[in-house]
Amino acid sequence: MSIIVNILAFIVAIGILVTVHEFGHYWVARRLGVKILRFSIGFGYPLWSRCFGKDKTEFVIAAIPLGGYVKMLDEREGEVAPEEVHRAFNQQSLKVRSAIVFAGPLLNFVFAIFAYAMMYMVGITGMKAFVGDIEPQSVAEKAGLQSGYQIVAVNDKPIIHWEGIIQTTLEQLLNDNDTVTYSVMTEQNRQYDLQVNLTGFSVDDIAGGDFFTKLGFKPYRPPPPATIGKIMPDSPAQQAGLQTGDKVIAMDGQKVINWFDWADYIKQRPGQTMEVEVERNQQQLKLTLIPMEVEGKGRVGVYGPENYTIPDKYQGVERYGLGQALVAGTVKTWQISVLTLRLMGKMLTLQVSYKHMSGPFTIAEYAGKTAKIGISAFLMFLGLVSVSLGVINLMPIPLLDGGHLFFYLIEFIKGSPVTENTEFLLQRIGLTLLLCLMGLAIFNDFERIFS
């Protein structure tokens, strides 16, 4: 079921983003008088096609949902009737051709702004940045962070969720800064600044998910109550008479505060007979439980509560009205665009590992995960991928929009178009480069899947 959700979410996401990109080319070309022959979402065998408008433009949904294209009237691709030569793409001025090509990536950025704006209007709910356990002699301890503190700002920029702290710290690393300032709120509601030393940190530490490990602390998550959720058949829990909904209040006379207390007590006592005191329907019962041994640890075959609600104190909601949401969406799009460019630059100079490149399988996985979380998370995912498509398509690589714009820049400088032989050679180089990058991204996907 999870795989099906991932595939469906991936098709929906790519379908939306490709349609947006190609519509940019289509709309500007139509407005500037160029005839459109086909608007295709996907490649390969047409699953659906219809012709519309006075030009009988063919709209197609094809079988391979990994891109799309807008085919325009062009003398280089076929014979053009004399009365329609003026509507051929190759006959347009340099400004017109540049505008048509640039419109695709531009609309990706515009869509990202609106996706992020909608996300802010719906509201982003996430864990506030409360600090959990601190490792002795760690960077966090040396900086003065303590368990229970809440990080409320980074470099004087207000932060609500952990994501903002990670992103802002990443920006500091990309700027080659060795320190970052965390503004913290103590449990006594006192606020002050702490200097965190980033010496020895790398972008890979954050991109690889080792940010908290390297700093030496854990984000605090309020533990769920010790309430029994699902019980596995023929498990020690079932044999002891435990039922879904039972609240564990004591083990061998020792009070149980939360699920972690109960789980830790069980893990440390495989094969031992113990007395469990539970609350069921406002009555207290005592049961005998013997955990089985699995890899040297005690297991009883139960899951925690499925519908546990995190207390409001630890959750932050970021929500704006339409005007503020559009401003925040624009700022977010700019930040992600700059961040993407910097990461790509660091990757090209081998300062960031190529292993952080993601292919279609990883994108599909994240599409499914965010779709299951909710509309706000899925909008964030759409905005991120839309920005990435916009940035990548503007790279001066032949076959991409940026490659065409690069050819037009050469044409502007030298006063004449690039020769067909030169363009063909560069396009072959560009195709080889794109295939290598795609192969590397897919290799990374498989390595993540099977590691």
Three-state secondary structure of 407-439 = HHHHHHHHCCCCCHHHHHHHHHHHHHHHHHHHH
Residues 35 and 430: their CA atoms lie apart, in Å, by 27
Residues 129 and 140: their CA atoms lie apart, in Å, by 14
What pLDDT was estimated at residue 1?
61
What pLDDT was estimated at residue 155?
87
Residues 360 and 439: their CA atoms lie apart, in Å, by 11
What pLDDT was estimated at residue 97?
93
The β-bridge partners of 154 are: 157, 182
Active site residue: 22, 171, 277, 365, which one? 22
Say how many Å lie between the first and final Cα of the chain, rounded: 22
Residues 358 and 354: their CA atoms lie apart, in Å, by 9
Asked if 125-222+310-318 and 236-299 have one fold, the answer is yes
What pLDDT was estimated at residue 83?
87
Identify the segments of the chain with pLDDT beneath 70. 1, 207-209, 351-352, 356, 451
CATH of 125-222+310-318, one of 2.30.42.10, 1.10.238.10, 3.40.640.10, 2.60.40.3080: 2.30.42.10
Pick left, alpha or beta for residue 24 (phi over 0 → left; psi -120 to 50 → alpha; otherwise beta): alpha
What pLDDT was estimated at residue 451?
67
Closest CA to 370 of 383, 352, 357: 383
Q: Report the residue count for the chain.
A: 451
Residues 152 and 170: their CA atoms lie apart, in Å, by 17
Sequence-ordered list of residues with C-beta below 8 angstroms from that of 437, at least 6 positions apart, any chain: 357
Domain definitions of the chain by residue range: 93-123+320-451, 125-222+310-318, 236-299
**Single-letter code of the amino acid located at 96:** V
Which own/partner contact pairs does 206-209 have at CB distance under 8 Å and 24+ positions apart?
A: 206/166, 206/169, 206/170, 206/173, 207/170, 207/343, 207/352, 207/353, 207/356, 208/353, 208/355, 208/356
Instruction: Give the other-Cβ count within 10 Å of 281's Cβ.
Output: 8
For the chain, how are helix, strand and coil distributed in percent, rounded to 5? Answer: 50, 25, 30
Verify whether residue 420 is a known catalytic residue: no
What pLDDT was estimated at residue 223?
83
Q: Which CATH architecture group holds 236-299? A: Roll (2.30)
Q: Residue 243 in contact with residue 279, Cβ under 8 Å?
A: no
In the numeric block, the tokens 């998910």 are attached to 209
In order of 12, 149, 167, 202, the CA distances from 161 in angstroms are 28, 14, 10, 22
Closest CA to 211 of 199, 221, 203: 203
Within its chain, how far is the Cα of 24 from the centroid?
24
What pLDDT was estimated at residue 19?
93
